[in-house]
Amino acid sequence: MIRSSAHELTKSLSQRQVSAVDLMQQTLEQIAEVNPGVNAIVALRDVADLMAEAQAADQGPVRGPLHGLPIAVKDLVNVAGIPSTQGSPALKDAVPTSDDLIAARMRAAGAILIGKTNVPEHGLGSHTFNPVYGATSNPYDRNLTCGGSSGGAAVALATGMVALADGSDMMGSLRNPAGWNNVYGFRPSWGLVPSEPQGEMFLHQLSTLGPMARSPQDISLFLDVISGPDHRSPFGQATAPTFPIKDRSIRGLKIGWLGDWQRCFPMEGGILELSQEALSVFESLGASVEHIAAPFEADLIWDSWITLRSWSIAGSLAPMMERGEPLKDSAIWEIERGLSMSAMEVHRASEIRSDWFRRAAQLFETYDALVLPTAQVWPFDVNLPWPTEIAGQGMDTYHRWMQVVTPVSLIGLPCLAVPAGFGAINGLPGGVQIFGPRGSDAAILALGKAYHAATEWPQKRPPV
């Protein structure tokens, strides 16, 4: 049962063909068996309380599309009654009394919120480790990282501890771990899934919440639960439901392959080859794939990105630094950069972002989707904070090795990270990013559905 798809489980639960009690029991047994070796789920609620909530779901009315489904929520999200630490020592004893919006929507849809999934401290860096809960390991090799910041979520999915997981994505935070754990992660068009209506709500259009799952169809099911406008948010858009995903013919579609952006993104050996194997699937389905030249200067995208990112992070974390609360070095670096910027520096960075958005819009007049790898490296040593070089080229920041995700992040496009299979030499999972124009979320998910039907990587190669 624990390896079943979320849409099959929720259908069976709502029709009373499967009991929430049985599913909860199997979920808890899987967590007890697997989680000690990977450390993906943290702050697990009391077993008796969870079983009682599952029993109540069986005895009461069907509450929504996720009725009776156990879900662990990413530990950047506040959930009432569950420690919400963000991996920070300053918040290790924080237990919210109310749900953030995304958690409230899951709960209203009938999900049973069982605990948290592990994250890097404050979600910074694509490697899940923190001083509160420790590191989360890759289930395909427990000596290696699972990525991040939605690393715990990806591992919980890959190992069958949950059928759906929420992620968030500023700089590949659900795309990178999806690729490294052989699952799917979807970064929706910016604004489709509203952020928590607190603090500054107008300027920082970088990060977004999004769904993760073992199939695009399950991504779609969860997206419909967490998306849609909130009257307290200045941004948001009403959209038609995406579940179930409509079939889309791949024949005749044009896909642009960006590769390593004309050698601007250094890659470890085998990354591009595995990505091209994924592209060959689309060719077998009737699409044409063209390798296209770098459409915009990579350094301009990078400079714009790190300016706007540091400015955003300083806005949220600077008060903690001012209070003398503990922060890791990368957080302090981001805050100090953000505090040093002038308004015109930020404006120039946004002008570059606007230029890249316009250029990308031109590309989508020719191509139905564009593709990049989800990462420039394979999963690295779990004890290493971050890769300091790729293929002999030094990395000048703690996140430069993640540069391949910035073309999407900078302009808020919808992007589906799909599993690409396993490296020929190391046997490790990798993935590719499939992205399209703003608002093409349903079309990108339909591409993913066709790809999944032809590959089914998460179902073929679950971790041992």
Instruction: Tell me the per-residue pLDDT of 23-48, one tens digit each, with 9 for 90 and over.
Output: 999 999 999 999 999 999 999 999 99
Provide the pLDDT for residue 295. 98
Q: Contacts by 129-133 with C-beta closer than 8 Å and gap 24+?
A: 129/382, 129/385, 130/85, 130/87, 130/88, 131/87, 131/88, 131/89, 131/326, 132/85, 132/87, 132/88, 132/89, 132/92, 133/39, 133/42, 133/85, 133/87
Indicate whether 238 pLDDT > 80: no
How far from chain centre, in Å, is Cα 410?
15
Concerning whether 173 is annotated as a catalytic residue, the answer is yes
Alpha helices in 143-189 (DSSP H): 151-158, 175-180
Provide the pLDDT for residue 464. 73
| Rounded Cα gap, residues 120 and 123, in angstroms | 5
- Amino acid letter for position 29: E
Provide the pLDDT for residue 343. 98
Quick one: average pLDDT of 97-117? 98
pLDDT band at residue 2 under the 50/70/90 scheme: confident
Q: Report which DSSP code applies to 366.
A: T
Q: Report which DSSP code applies to 405.
A: G
Catalytic residue from among 5, 168, 173, 215? 173
Considering the four listed CATH numbers 3.40.309.10, 3.90.1300.10, 1.10.8.60, 3.30.200.20, the one that applies to the domain covering 6-460 is 3.90.1300.10
Provide the pLDDT for residue 242. 96
Give how far Cα 118 sits from Cα of 73, 136, 150, 155, 165, Å.
9, 7, 7, 10, 12
| Rounded Cα gap, residues 242 and 128, in angstroms | 30
pLDDT band at residue 239 under the 50/70/90 scheme: confident
pLDDT single digits (tens) 269-278: 999 999 999 9
Concerning whether 254 is annotated as a catalytic residue, the answer is no
Cis peptide before 244 (omega within 30 of 0): yes
| Rounded Cα gap, residues 363 and 359, in angstroms | 7
What predicted TM-score, i.e. pTM, was given to this entire model?
Answer: 0.98
Provide the pLDDT for residue 25. 98
Concerning whether 74 is annotated as a catalytic residue, the answer is yes
Spatial CA neighbour of 177 closest among 155, 205, 203, 207: 155
Q: Are 68 and 23 in contact (CB under 8 A)?
A: yes
Provide the pLDDT for residue 276. 98
Across the beta sheet with 41-42, the strand order is 41-42, 112-117, 70-74
Per-residue tokens: 4 = 């079943």
Provide the pLDDT for residue 440. 97
Alpha helices in 138-174 (DSSP H): 151-158
Residues above pLDDT 70, as percent of the chain: 100
Residues whose CB falls within 8 Å of the CB of residue 369, separated by 6 or more in sequence, listed in order: 253, 255, 256, 434, 435, 436, 443, 444, 447
Indicate whether 335 pLDDT > 80: yes
Domain limits of the chain? 6-460
Catalytic residue from among 74, 116, 328, 449? 74
pLDDT single digits (tens) 341-370: 999 999 999 999 999 999 999 999 999 999
Residues above pLDDT 90, as percent of the chain: 98
pLDDT single digits (tens) 427-454: 999 999 999 999 999 999 999 999 999 9
Considering the chain, what is the average pLDDT of its residues?
A: 97
Catalytic residue from among 88, 149, 195, 227? 149
Quick one: average pLDDT of 130-148? 98
Residues whose CB falls within 8 Å of the CB of residue 297, separated by 6 or more in sequence, listed in order: none
Q: Contacts by 131-135 with C-beta closer than 8 Å and gap 24+?
A: 131/87, 131/88, 131/89, 131/326, 132/85, 132/87, 132/88, 132/89, 132/92, 133/39, 133/42, 133/85, 133/87, 134/39, 135/39, 135/382, 135/383
pLDDT single digits (tens) 183-230: 999 999 999 999 999 999 999 999 999 999 999 999 999 999 999 999
Per-residue tokens: 245 = 């995903």
